[in-house]
Chains A and B, each alone.
Chain A
Amino acid sequence: MIDIDVLRDELVANEFPEGEFTIADHEHYLCADAVLSPPLPEGVAHPMYVYYTAIAGMGITLDELFAAAHSSADAGVMFGEAGFDQRKPMRVGETYTVRGGFTDAVRKESARLGIMDLVTFELEVVDRDGDVAGVSRNTFVFPRGSA
């Protein structure tokens, strides 16, 4: 098992490559329908699009993110915590740049799950005017087995 201080240093050393994501009208319609959204103002995306845009537009895949944390999608990775700030309403049809990277990694141990690493990454969602429309912070839990 990799030392947690080594892992943290590895992760926070480099930002993700920049990526981008466009909120397509039909995808937004289907997403709003699937999450049972109340009616939204014309052209305004559901606020969850801060998260959806960040994840879909970040410059690495989830598989690459898991690999960077010395894990994989079939290792029982769990969502620990998820937060976002919404600074400007997200707009349907808009293309956003996504930038950011890992910010922390901490190791914990529980009787039920054994050793686990909590890895946090933060992504800014930037509109075409260069304004940060939202910030998404997520923590994944990587099970590492018993001590």
Chain B
Amino acid sequence: MSIEVGTEIPPFAVGEVSTEKMKTMALLLRDPNPIHWNVESVVAAGLGDRVINQGPTNKAFIVNAIIGWLGDPARLRSITVRFRGNVYGGESVEAGGVVTAIRDEDGERLADCDVWLRTGDGRDVIVGTATVVA
């Protein structure tokens, strides 16, 4: 597999973000924020009318795209993202990215990438950068 500037990370698509898996993550992370499992809390906060996925889970979808691309999770060296919007239960999202630079560092060939998570209606809810071993 050749990795060059312009190489696209194969998309990781989620057809429908699961509200049940939000509950699992809330328990695992001991996250008491009810916006992940109680619609009434979302409405009361003026954030919409569906429960909201955990930000780190949205980021994990991007990491999944990178794992699927490279086959080895150890080749992910760093990833930094900004959270720009919410992902709601039942929405579709797609994680993707593109290689923006190739460089050598400490004897390794590294690829810098722009990465994102985009909703089905075209909102970039996460944008960021990642570095992988090319």
**Interface size bracket, A side:** 20 to 34
Per-residue A-contact encoding for B62-80, CB less than 8 Å = 1, 0 else: 0110011000111011111
From B24, B30, B74, give the contact of A86 (CB < 8 A).
Answer: B74
Report whether B67 and A83 are in contact in the complex, using a CB–CB cutoff of 8 Å.
Answer: no
Interface check B107, CB cutoff 8 A: no
Report whether A35 and B57 are in contact in the complex, using a CB–CB cutoff of 8 Å.
Answer: yes
List chain A positions with a Cβ less than 8 A from chain B.
27, 30-31, 33-38, 40-41, 44, 46-48, 51-52, 55-56, 73, 76, 78-89, 137
CB-based nearest A residue for B131: A85
Report whether B61 and A36 are in contact in the complex, using a CB–CB cutoff of 8 Å.
Answer: yes
Report whether B63 and A46 are in contact in the complex, using a CB–CB cutoff of 8 Å.
Answer: yes
CB-based nearest A residue for B72: A41
Report whether A84 and B79 are in contact in the complex, using a CB–CB cutoff of 8 Å.
Answer: yes
- Interchain nearest-CB distance for A30 vs B (Å): 6
14 more CB-based (< 8 A) A-B contacts, given A36-B60, A81-B82: A27-B28, A30-B28, A33-B21, A35-B57, A35-B64, A40-B67, A44-B73, A46-B73, A73-B32, A73-B33, A79-B55, A81-B83, A86-B78, A88-B74
From B33, B45, B59, B82, give the contact of A48 (CB < 8 A).
Answer: B59
- By a CB distance below 8 angstroms, the chain A residues around B56 are 48, 51-52, 82
